[in-house]
Every structure is written in structure tokens, then in C-alpha cells.
Amino acid sequence: NGVYISSAYSATATIQFTFSKAISTPQPILVICRGQSPYLKEHAHEEDKELHDFALTDSVILNSTRKASAPSFKIMGAISLLNDIDVPLSGWVSIDKCSKPITSLELQFIRVESAAVKEGIAKEATEIQNIQIGEGDITRGVRIPIYMFFPRWFTCPTIRSIHLRVDFECNLVATFEDHTQITHNFPLLLYRASS
């Protein structure tokens, strides 16, 4: 289920009484087909299943106009970029150094739908899930585990065709005491395993 792109299945049960109106109730059905994701069979490699290391620093993230007021920081971690929908997203993150106190560390799970329309391509990004993985001024150098289940109703294998795309992203968001936020985006490839 998405904003523009949705495949929905439901079953409707109807009871017809002899001397009164019929009662009808639709019930949504979650359909899961194993082995989905033809795109990944062609484009993913076995090494993509490993954790992807990352290092975020103020010099890499921030542009020169905001650099003077921004905190000095170094955030290290690893995250899985190729994921089976039935297995939680995993990894870790560590705040190695930061010149300002951090108030929150969050993971945002984003669904990005793109569809070809008459005027070009309509693209919509929707936040599906937001998980706070750290609160308060996080102790420096401690590995915080990342373990996020994918929500069943809003997640499907990555779809990429000529007229339609459904992609997923994960944002790591650090919020500082002065409400400054730093966001780093990780594109994810999702699939559903055969077994």
C-alpha cells in the first residue's frame, strides 16, 4: 500500500437473511509470494548482503555556508543495504566524537514511489516508519545496534520497470541540542527470499 502505487486484495463475506437486509463485510488479505524480485536477480551481488560500512563527518556532510555554526562530529557504523523483507534491517552506529550534545538518533524508513505520467515522472517519498535508536547525549564510542523490522502492509520487494518504480531508503537522523539535524540517506534493495 502506497500513496500512488497500491496492490490490495480483499475477501468479502455476505450473509443474506430471508426477511432482512444482507450483511456484507470486506476483509483485507495480505498476500506473500516467495522468491519475488526479478530486478535483484540481475543487479545484486552476493557481497551486497554484507554490512556496508559508513563514516559521517562534518566535513563530508555539511556545505561551507553552514559549517561555522554546525557541530564537529564523527559518526561511524555499518548497515545492510540488501535485505530480505522477512529479516530485520541490521547494523550498528556509534557516535565517535561530537562537539554538541545529541538529543536524539533516529532511523526513518522511506518508501519512494515513481510512476510515469503524461507530464513526466511523478515521484513521492513517504515515511513509513520512524524508530528512535538513541535518546539524550549518547555515550561516545558505544555501538548502538540497528534492528528494524519491515512493516508488512507498506513494504514490498524493490520494483523497477519502465513505467513504475518502488524503492526504499533508510535515513539516519541525528538531532542536536540546538535542534540542528544531520541526515544521511542509505538506498536499500529489498527482496523476498524463496524459502
pLDDT in tens, 61-87: 654 445 556 788 899 999 999 888 888
What gap in Å lies between CA 52 and CA 146, rounded to an integer?
Answer: 13
Cut 0.85: pTM above it: no
Residue 29 has pLDDT above 80, yes or no: no
What gap in Å lies between CA 23 and CA 21, rounded to an integer?
Answer: 7
pLDDT for residue 169: 95
CB 95 within 8 A of CB 75: yes
DSSP string, 150-193: PPGGG----EE-SSEEEEEEEEEEEEETTS-EEEEEEEEEEE--
pLDDT in tens, 84-135: 888 899 999 999 998 889 999 999 999 998 888 888 888 888 899 999 999 9
pLDDT for residue 104: 92
pLDDT for residue 79: 94
CB 191 within 8 A of CB 157: yes
Q: Is 91 exposed, middle or buried (0-12, 13-18, 19+ CB in 10 A)?
A: buried
